[in-house]
Amino acid sequence: MIKVAPSILSADYINLQKDIELVQNAGAEYLHIDVMDGMFVPAISYGAGWVKAIKPVTNMVLDVHLMVEQPERYVNDFVEAGADIVGVHVEATPHIHRALQMIKDKDAKAEVVINPGTPVSAIEPVLYMVDQVLVMTVNPGFGGQKFLPETIKKIAELDDLKKKMGYDFDIEIDGGVNDQTVVDAYKAGATVAVAGSYVFNDADPAQKVQLLKDVTK
């Protein structure tokens, strides 16, 4: 059964606590927090202050996805605000190893992220040190986009590498996830599914969380 990480990007910001409680009570293990800087991706979303505000109202794992240029400038702030996992894009820094090491040095879980156009080989040198790999299944920046099926083979490639090398990271998918697209990704080796619009643009978010779990039993 896949772990579910609802993305607050599609939640109701005015009633955020209500949405957080809904998905937590439905059994979501992670809460996915998309940080956008207006440079790495066009939009600006929210910063470490949101993580700090959310931390006391939930016991879900706070899974922070930094869509930020030179994320090493911000990783300490996010860990101090309460992030349990911090994800940094390999495309966003020439210093990916340093960025991941900084997260680990603060005792948070380190995640490396790859865009749809980036091959697994780009992150192979750092796989030994990560707790999670995020395979973007859409181009980052917006909720509500269509799942790119070509990304499935990268999930399978990472799953093979895990077995071959004895690595122990989670494989997360993000973008266009619904009760259909999650199935092949799960079969290929994905262990965590981010879902934004599928969960929150529905009258019954709790049922959507449950459905993602039901179809990956």
Q: What is the DSSP letter of 52?
A: H
- What sign for the dihedral angle of Cα 36, 168, 5, 187? positive
Catalytic residue among 19, 34, 84, 131: 34
Q: How many CA atoms lie within 13 A of 147 on its CB side?
A: 22
Site track for ligand DX5 across 173-192, x = CB under 6 A: -xxxx---------------
Q: Using the rule CB under 5 A, is 65 a contact of Zn ion?
A: yes
Question: What does 145 bind: ligand DX5, Zn ion, none (CB cut-off 5 to 8 Å by kind)?
Answer: ligand DX5
Which of ligand DX5, Zn ion, none does 72 bind, CB closer than 5 to 8 A by kind?
none
Q: If we measure between CA atoms, which residue out of 210, 130, 128, 124 comes closest to residue 171?
A: 130
Residues 65-94 that bind ligand DX5 (CB under 6 A): 65
Check binding of 34 to Zn ion (CB under 5 A). Answer: yes
Which string of DSSP letters, residue by residue, matches 136-181? ESS-TT-SSPPP-GGGHHHHHHHHHHHHHHT---EEEEESS--TTH
Structure tokens, 79: 């860990």
Q: Which stretch binds Zn ion (CB under 5 A): 18-26, 28-36, 37-45, 197-205?
A: 28-36
Structure token digits, residue 43? 């939009």
Instruction: Look up 63 and say whether it is catalytic.
Output: no
34 is catalytic: yes
The CB-of-20 to Zn ion minimum distance in angstroms stands at 16
Handedness of CA 1, 128, 115, 88 (dihedral sign): positive
Angle formed by the axes of helices 16-25 and 205-214, to 10°? 30
Which of Zn ion, ligand DX5, none has residue 144 at its interface (CB below 5 to 8 Å by kind)? ligand DX5
Residue number of the CB closest to Zn ion reads 65
Following CA atoms 202, 207, 209, 212 in sequence, which dihedral angle do they give, to the nearest 10 degrees?
A: -100
Asked if 33 touches ligand DX5 (CB under 6 A), the answer is no
Indicate which single residue of 132, 151, 197, 216 sits in contact with ligand DX5 (rule: CB under 6 A): 197
Q: For binding to Zn ion (CB under 5 A), which residues are involved?
A: 34, 65, 174
Active site residues: 34, 174
Q: For binding to ligand DX5 (CB under 6 A), which residues are involved?
A: 7, 9-10, 32, 34, 65, 138, 140-145, 174-177, 194-198
